Amino acid sequence: MTASLIDGNALAKRVRAEVAGRTEALRARGIQPHLAVILVGEDPASQVYVKHKVADSEQTGLKATLERYPAAMQEGELLARIRALNEDKGVHGILVQLPLPKHMDTHKVIETISPAKDVDGFHVASAGALMVGQPGFWPCTPYGCLKMLDSIGYDLKGKHAVVIGRSNIVGKPMALMLLGRDATVTICHSRTMDLKAMTLQADVVVAAVGRRNVLTRDMVKPGAVVIDVGMNRNDEGKLCGDVDFEGVKEVAGWITPVPGGVGPMTRAMLLVNTIEAAERTSA
Ligand code: GUN
């Protein structure tokens, strides 16, 4: 058996088109959805990420403003800038690119963003809202994974979903989203004693560890859906995920590729959260 691909690029394109339509509708009412992106320091990967976020926004008609600050910026200055953006009615979403310079308290910075503008979904109020099923912003990566499952018409009700990874921005929120769809959810992590015993039972596996070959073909139930959140480099320097794609695709029913899978969906879901933020404040 060879798995069908869940094409993240194609789905992201559809999501962006939908966001563009919603943006146009707001603009017709005189509202310009606006995302403020803050980058502190010179981290090379972060510079690439923010460039993409701004370009994606502009491509869908959203206004994006990139504010760049030197690594030596004082935390107090950053907090003051975030508070000003919280008050600015013309700004609907605020994203502070991570990682921040070491002298800053990341938690304090994120908690300063108004939950109403927390389009990354990293604020504790956003995490709490997801947990209790109240409206709030969902972190973009797990939200994108859920959309990918929806795109193949997968009904999660009663299914066993195994999430590998327990980070605050992927594993834990992913588990809550799956639970919200009535899946039976198991969270596995580096201390899990027999990972294979868990994944062999799974109808859906989400791999979000950040290490190559965490999931190999002997660990997958035939026909399972495999979502690969990993972004790693192999020995030749090529981008690869957490899943041994070549092996697993022979047993899985559906699989996401890396690149071209979850990555483009993460980017697309930031646009969804931003248009949502603008719509909520102008309803
Ligand atoms: N750094 C790496 N990924 C992300 C992300 O999704 N959001 C923010 N703010 N910083 C990041």
d(CA 104, CA 24): 38
What global pTM score does this model have? 0.97
> Residues in the chain, how many?
283
Ligand 1 pocket, CB under 6 A: 49, 95-98, 120, 140
Question: Can 53 be counted among the known catalytic residues?
Answer: yes
pLDDT in tens, the chain (283 residues): 699 999 999 999 999 999 999 999 999 999 999 999 999 999 999 999 999 999 999 999 999 999 999 999 999 999 999 999 999 999 999 999 999 999 999 999 999 999 999 999 999 999 999 999 999 999 999 999 999 999 999 999 999 999 999 999 999 999 999 999 999 999 999 999 999 999 999 999 999 999 999 999 999 999 999 999 999 999 999 999 999 999 999 999 999 999 999 999 999 999 999 999 999 998 7
Distance between Cα 169 and ligand 1 center (Å): 9
- Given this model, what pLDDT does residue 236 score? 94
Shortest-distance atom of ligand 1 to CA 139: 6
- Given this model, what pLDDT does residue 283 score? 78
Question: Can 74 be counted among the known catalytic residues?
Answer: no
48, 53, 94, 97, best to mutate for ligand 1 pocket (most atoms within 8 Å of CB): 97
Integer-rounded Cα radius of gyration of the chain: 19
Torsion of CA 112, 266, 131, 80, to 10 degrees: 0
DSSP per residue over the chain, as a string? --PEE--HHHHHHHHHHHHHHHHHHHHHTT---EEEEEEES--HHHHHHHHHHHHHHHHTT-EEEEEEE-TT--HHHHHHHHHHHHH-TT--EEEE-SSPPTTS-HHHHHHHS-GGG-TT--SHHHHHHHHHT-S-PPPHHHHHHHHHHHHTT---TT-EEEEE---TTTHHHHHHHHHHTT-EEEEE-TT-S-HHHHHTT-SEEEE-SSSTTSB-GGGS-TT-EEEE---EE-TTS-EE-SB-HHHHTTT-SEE--SSSSHHHHHHHHHHHHHHHHHHHHT-
All structural domains of the chain, each given as residue ranges with its CATH number in brackets, are 30-114 (3.40.50.10860), 140-263 (3.40.50.720)
53, 82, 98, best to mutate for ligand 1 pocket (most atoms within 8 Å of CB): 98
